Amino acid sequence: MDISEAKQRVDKLKEVISKHRYDYHVLDKQEISDEALDSLKKELFDLEQKFPKLVTSDSPTQRVGGAPLDKFKKVQHTDNQGRPYKMNSLNDVFNDVDIEEWLERVEKYLNKKVEGFYCDLKMDGLAVELVYENGLFIQGSTRGDGQIGEDITQNLKTIEAIPLKLHGKSVPERFVVRGEAFLHLKEFERINKEQKKIGEKEYANPRNIAAGSLRQLDPKIAASRKLDFFAYAINDDSVPSKKEEYQMLKEAGFKVNPLGKVEKTLTDVEKFYASIEKKRDSLPYQIDGLVVTINDLSVYNAAGVVGKAPRGAVAYKFKAQEKTTKVNNVIVQLGRTGVLTPVAELEPVEVGGVLVKRATLHNYDEIDRLDLRIGDTVIVQRAGDVIPKITEVLKDLRTGEEKKIHRPTTFEGHELVQEDTLIRVKDKTLGKIKAQQLEHFVSRKAFNLEGLGPKIINRFLEEGMIVDASDIFNLKAKEIEALERFGEKSAQKLISEIENSKHITLERFIYSLGILHVGEETAICLPISLAHHRSRSLVEKMNQLTEEQLQEIQDIGPKVAKSIYEYFNSKANQELLLRLEKAGVQIKKAAAGKSTKLEGKTFVLTGTLTEFTRDQAKELIRKNGGQLSSAISKSTDFLVAGEKAGSKLSKAESLGVKVLSEAEFKTLLK
């Protein structure tokens, strides 16, 4: 991306982010989730880091909040001495690498090593400031633009967790506190039940209710919502440490989150982050990460502010269940029942800890509802789902070059029918055939993937995790773990099995492709004939053979030759073979040291062998240089006849083909 393309994208991102930030902070209206907005902000931040000349003073990365509403009195944010004191926001980090880079930047700025960090839970509520004079609560306000907020004192008084009178004798004459007003999940459910009962629209999340309640002109509405509050800061630079700051808040009568604690090193912080992320779903309220602050507040203050955020603290966000990305293409997935499902191929993006490359679109009515086009920037959600889904198209980011998605009229030459919202192949067996082809691909004589049975293949197809054979080799353990009845160990075991199967002999590979009329013996004959071709790829080697040349190979007639020729000259099959190669599948050389004892001799097996399985006998013949055929002819040298030999025995006798008993066969091999 050059700077002109980057500028076009940056300008669009600034416009869209500013709109959503205004809706969120000023109008209490949320059209996209916090996670999706974070994703857009991160993209903008990264572009500005790459192209510093594009950073402007009006960029959303350089500002906090929005203008206050006119319906509330404006309030200046101040410290304990009444001096202006900004209510800044925090920069976000999303993984171990991000937070380690944050600390490196801080230590480089301070020119000293930093240890000791206070870790508090990042509540998903509304940040507010409380002012006390002579121990009495006199004013409460919203963040606003960071300097001036809105007076919501009467609404904040309805929250019982906020003391109207402070405790303790050591509280200064003027005491300014900051914290988060939020709603418990049980209260959120109760309110939505009431909304549903009276036929009103349900709220999207607890944060919306908390913000909306505190922006009501009538405090009775706020009182009915039963909000809660955790304090997290005192507007006084003389407090020695963050830990002591929390202790002072508790002594003054404020509720603080009991899970917050000091961790000595960044490694300890990362462990605490992991433990809280595991507890996240069992907490009675919503959180979206940790707030990590340098515990020594003299060091924190010395670090200063960068842009509109303090250097000494950061929001360590959990892995988002929603992200923004681009739609590169839309492909069609054929299910076992013959139903066609459109699947979006995405610009890879990590969602919920998994690298996402595809998202289901369900059906073509859903594409119409979303008004989705190839090239669109979209919101992708992976909340509890194995394959993510697109929940929204960000149309404001369109450039005019996006392409419309058309409904298919045929599928691989097959007629389609419409059933309600679904489009299916008229021949319903086609989907079942595709599943069976994949089952053949992983079978014992092919890739030998024992962990991928029919039920699991069908589940992977239904979830959209695989569309064709090449997708098997791109599966990730975390995707599989998300499936019911799969744990971390079983998922990892299957991934290891898949990884180990990537190196395969040519005969097994050809057999795995399920080419019409090509069985195990023909799959073995082909590599022998291809050995002298020096082309790099199998496709190139096969394209050098005509149907006539194929017919010259042992055990291949006109029908089989035609089938092989058509398979390798099909564009779709050529693309599949290239995808398999790209996924890491490699043809390995056959084992060296092969005997020539049976070279030039053709064998046919019939009946039941007692000391060998049929496969073991075939392997012995091949290892000793012999060839196998499925039918008796004049060119057959030996028929190995076991018990209950059938019609092949009588045909061999009539043609004068030598018949070997199992004992004679063993003698021949000695």
* Active site members: 122
Q: Are 550 and 515 in contact (CB under 8 A)?
A: no
Task: Look up residue 279 and give its two tokens.
Answer: 């507890």
The Cα angle at residue 583 between residues 580 and 584, in degrees rounded to 5:
95
Strand 602-606, strand 627-628: pairing: parallel
Contacts of 366 (CB under 8 A, 6+ apart): none
Strand runs (DSSP E) across 320-448, as ranges?
322-334, 339-351, 354-360, 373-374, 377-381, 389-393, 403-404, 410-411, 414-419, 422-425
Please report, for residues 43, 219, 229, 308, the alpha-carbon distance to residue 154 in angstroms, rounded to integers and kept in the order given.
39, 6, 15, 29
Report how far apart the first and last C-alpha atoms of the chain are (Å, whole number): 68
What is the spatial distance between Cα 84 and Cα 98, in angstroms, rounded to a whole number? Answer: 32
What is the spatial distance between Cα 634 and Cα 22, in angstroms, rounded to a whole number? Answer: 87
What is the spatial distance between Cα 54 and Cα 57, in angstroms, rounded to a whole number? Answer: 10
Q: Answer left, alpha or beta for residue 420, where phi above 0 means left and psi between -120 and 50 means alpha.
A: left
What is the spatial distance between Cα 307 and Cα 63, in angstroms, rounded to a whole number? Answer: 8
Contacts of 579 (CB under 8 A, 6+ apart): 468, 470
Using a 10 angstrom Cβ sphere, with 0-12 exposed, 13-18 middle and 19 or more buried, the burial of residue 517 is middle
What is the spatial distance between Cα 513 and Cα 61, in angstroms, rounded to a whole number? Answer: 52
If you ran DSSP here, which 8-state letter would residue 346 be given? E
Using a 10 angstrom Cβ sphere, with 0-12 exposed, 13-18 middle and 19 or more buried, the burial of residue 138 is exposed
If you ran DSSP here, which 8-state letter would residue 450 be given? T
What is the spatial distance between Cα 48 and Cα 641, in angstroms, rounded to a whole number? Answer: 77
What is the spatial distance between Cα 424 and Cα 338, in angstroms, rounded to a whole number? Answer: 5
Alpha helices in 172-265 (DSSP H): 185-197, 206-214, 219-224, 242-251
What is the spatial distance between Cα 140 and Cα 153, in angstroms, rounded to a whole number? Answer: 4
What is the spatial distance between Cα 398 and Cα 569, in angstroms, rounded to a whole number? Answer: 39
Over the Cα atoms of the chain, what is R_g?
34
What is the spatial distance between Cα 266 and Cα 358, in angstroms, rounded to a whole number? Answer: 34
Owner of token pair 């309110």: 191
Residues in the chain: 670
What is the spatial distance between Cα 589 and Cα 144, in angstroms, rounded to a whole number? Answer: 69
What is the spatial distance between Cα 510 and Cα 522, in angstroms, rounded to a whole number? Answer: 9
Q: Are 326 and 379 in contact (CB under 8 A)?
A: no
